[in-house]
């Protein structure tokens, strides 16, 4: 079947933050071979229930404009079964698409997917529709795909999914400009985020005037080059020039690219004293120590600089942190942090308590392992010289490359 695709509408105005509802299940590490045939598609007023004869791997949904439609792609599934329309849906079409099934709902009125979840051990997909106005529909259409995952490693017992959660994920409604992804398409994707940029210089060396934003960009590029040289992963940079991105755009870009690992590069600084050495941070609502809490306050400030107050959204994202979904991601992040500590030790000066935790906004993607690497102190002349040297960058890049390689080797071995 042929679908007509319409171009994304660029946002004309910068609207601070909008919400997309997204369903996030346990972090998804591979592509399982589950596949089922559609048995029934049922529309009841504002909800859609798709039943499969077997568990399916995952689904993603997106919106199409002119005419307004909701499309759902189910990985590995085959079209078939009976269809019952009604409510907000005028017609339902099924077809094969990219080795799976695509279901398209022709809408009677503009509506978006408010939530999506799998039940019955991954055999039933329920989508909740919500009517919106035309401009909200267009905005939601520009957000791209929403991924819906059944619970990972859930035995096919027919029991309802316990580990699922539907939560709002704040996303900038300013259409994200996705960066170029380099490397072999079959490889996992690592997104490297050079901290700060544009009118946010980050920390500045009191002696040399060296800016964190410049140091992080050079390090990010060195890491990209090293990872690409290994040929084992794909790589994208959130920025490859001197531009400003709000923190949520940074992980938003990585999520939109379905990154398997997110690494944000920073340099630390202290007003006084001679602190030195690198440390790695993973997400926790409770900072591991006072210094970690201070660092989080400094690094989270980037958005305040931009005049974006994300206070209310933070509360929503924070509330799900206790969920197992998030915990799984946090465990994967911590495992990578430990690996990095081991691999970096012979190459890069490290702090004695290398792995620490803090509530860092840039690490808040609930479904993507993420770390923030404080590569050293820009306020310390020795560290600054190391960080701003070709050899220093090379050593940091090598540490990351080794850790990344082991990380994915382990992950794939476990699947
Ligand atoms: Zn920073």
The DSSP bridge partners found for residue 41 are 50, 83
57 shares its domain with 130: yes
Question: Contact at 8 Å (CB) between 118 and 161?
Answer: yes
259 shares its domain with 408: yes
* 202 CA from centroid of ligand 1 (Å): 5
pLDDT tens per residue across span 357-373: 988 888 888 788 999 99
* 36 CA from centroid of ligand 1 (Å): 46
* 41 CA from centroid of ligand 1 (Å): 49
Question: Contact at 8 Å (CB) between 413 and 346?
Answer: no
338 shares its domain with 197: yes
In this structure, what token pair is assigned to residue 146? 């929403």
Taking only Cα atoms into account, the Rg of the chain, rounded to an integer number of angstroms, comes to: 22
Kindly state whether residue 158 falls inside one of the protein's structural domains: no
Phi then psi for residue 282, to 5 deg, are -125, 170
301 shares its domain with 338: yes
Mean pLDDT across the stretch 365-383?
92
Band of the pLDDT at 324, cuts 50, 70, 90?
low
* 277 CA from centroid of ligand 1 (Å): 15
- Residue 349 CA to residue 338 CA, distance in Å, equals 15
* 248 CA from centroid of ligand 1 (Å): 15
* 203 CA from centroid of ligand 1 (Å): 7
Highest mean pLDDT among 138-152, 160-174, 266-280, 312-326: 266-280
* 114 CA from centroid of ligand 1 (Å): 35
Band of the pLDDT at 174, cuts 50, 70, 90?
low
* 213 CA from centroid of ligand 1 (Å): 8
* 362 CA from centroid of ligand 1 (Å): 11
383 shares its domain with 302: yes
204 shares its domain with 351: yes
* 295 CA from centroid of ligand 1 (Å): 8
Does 116 score more than 80 pLDDT? Answer: no
CATH number at residue 185: 3.40.630.40
CATH number at residue 114: 2.60.40
356 shares its domain with 306: yes
Kindly state whether residue 9 falls inside one of the protein's structural domains: no
* 276 CA from centroid of ligand 1 (Å): 15
Kindly state whether residue 164 falls inside one of the protein's structural domains: no
Kindly state whether residue 375 falls inside one of the protein's structural domains: yes
Mean pLDDT across the stretch 19-47?
57
Final residue belonging to a domain, choices 89, 118, 148: 148
Kindly state whether residue 1 falls inside one of the protein's structural domains: no
* 212 CA from centroid of ligand 1 (Å): 7
Does 151 score more than 60 pLDDT? Answer: no
**How many domains is the chain built from?**
2
Short-list 380, 376, 408, 378, CA closest to 395: 376
* 91 CA from centroid of ligand 1 (Å): 51
* 198 CA from centroid of ligand 1 (Å): 13
Kindly state whether residue 3 falls inside one of the protein's structural domains: no
Final residue belonging to a domain, choices 94, 113, 148: 148
How many CB atoms are located within 10 Å of the residue 262 CB?
27
84 shares its domain with 133: yes
Question: Contact at 8 Å (CB) between 414 and 331?
Answer: no
The residue with greater pLDDT, 57 or 240, is 240
* 374 CA from centroid of ligand 1 (Å): 8
Kindly state whether residue 352 falls inside one of the protein's structural domains: yes
230 shares its domain with 97: no
217 shares its domain with 352: yes
Contacts of 366 (CB under 8 A, 6+ apart): 24, 167, 169, 317, 320, 321, 323, 325, 326, 329
* 336 CA from centroid of ligand 1 (Å): 20
Mean of the per-residue pLDDT values of the chain: 78
Q: Looking at residue 325, what is its pLDDT?
A: 61
* 27 CA from centroid of ligand 1 (Å): 27
185 shares its domain with 305: yes
Report the predicted TM-score, pTM, of the whole model to 2 decimal places.
Answer: 0.58
In this structure, what token pair is assigned to residue 63? 């919106």
Q: Is residue 81 packed enough to be buried (19+ CB in 10 Å), middle (13-18) or exposed (0-12)?
A: middle
* 233 CA from centroid of ligand 1 (Å): 25
Final residue belonging to a domain, choices 114, 148, 182: 148
State which residues form the domain around 205: 169-414
* 290 CA from centroid of ligand 1 (Å): 17
Question: Contact at 8 Å (CB) between 189 and 233?
Answer: yes
54 shares its domain with 175: no
Kindly state whether residue 153 falls inside one of the protein's structural domains: no
Q: Looking at residue 6, what is its pLDDT?
A: 33
The DSSP bridge partners found for residue 60 are 73, 147
* 263 CA from centroid of ligand 1 (Å): 13
* 344 CA from centroid of ligand 1 (Å): 19
């Amino acid at each position: 079947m042929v679908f007509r695709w319409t171009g994304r509408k660029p946002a004309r105005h910068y609207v601070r933050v909008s919400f997309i509802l997204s369903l996030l299940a346990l972090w998804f590490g591979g592509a399982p071979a589950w596949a089922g045939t559609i048995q029934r598609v049922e529309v009841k007023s504002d909800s859609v229930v798709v039943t499969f004869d077997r568990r399916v791997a995952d689904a993603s949904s997106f919106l199409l404009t002119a005419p307004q439609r909701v499309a759902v792609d189910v990985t590995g599934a085959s079209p078939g079964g009976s269809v019952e329309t009604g409510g907000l849906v005028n017609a339902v079409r099924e077809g094969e698409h990219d080795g799976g099934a695509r279901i398209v709902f022709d809408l009677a009125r503009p509506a978006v997917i408010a939530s999506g979840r799998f039940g019955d051990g991954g055999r039933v997909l329920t989508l909740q529709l919500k009517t919106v106005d035309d401009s909200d529909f267009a905005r939601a259409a520009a957000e791209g795909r929403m991924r819906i995952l059944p619970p990972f490693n859930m035995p096919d017992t027919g029991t309802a999914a316990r580990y699922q959660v539907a939560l709002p994920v704040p996303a900038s409604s300013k259409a994200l400009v996705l960066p170029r992804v380099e490397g072999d398409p079959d490889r996992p994707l690592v997104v490297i985020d050079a901290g700060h940029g544009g009118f946010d210089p980050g920390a500045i060396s009191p002696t040399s005037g060296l800016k964190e934003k410049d140091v992080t960009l050079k390090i990010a590029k060195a890491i990209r080059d090293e990872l690409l040289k290994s040929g084992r992963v794909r790589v994208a940079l959130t920025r490859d020039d001197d531009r400003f991105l709000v923190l949520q755009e940074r992980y938003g870009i990585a999520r939109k690219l379905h990154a398997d690992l997110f690494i944000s590069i920073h340099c630390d600084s202290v007003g006084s004293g001679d602190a030195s050495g690198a440390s790695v941070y993973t997400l926790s609502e409770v900072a591991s120590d006072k210094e970690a809490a201070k660092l989080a306050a400094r690094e989270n400030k980037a958005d305040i600089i931009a005049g974006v107050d994300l206070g209310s959204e933070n509360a929503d994202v924070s509330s799900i942190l206790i969920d197992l979904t998030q915990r799984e991601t946090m465990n994967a992040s911590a495992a990578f942090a430990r690996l990095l500590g081991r691999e970096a030790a012979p190459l890069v000066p490290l702090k004695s308590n290398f792995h620490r935790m803090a509530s860092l906004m840039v690490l808040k993607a609930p479904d993507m392992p993420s770390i923030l690497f404080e590569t050293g102190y820009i306020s310390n002349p020795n560290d600054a010289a190391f960080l701003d040297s070709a050899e220093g960058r090379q050593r940091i890049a090598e540490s990351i490359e080794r850790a990344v390689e082991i990380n994915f080797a382990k992950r794939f071995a476990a699947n």
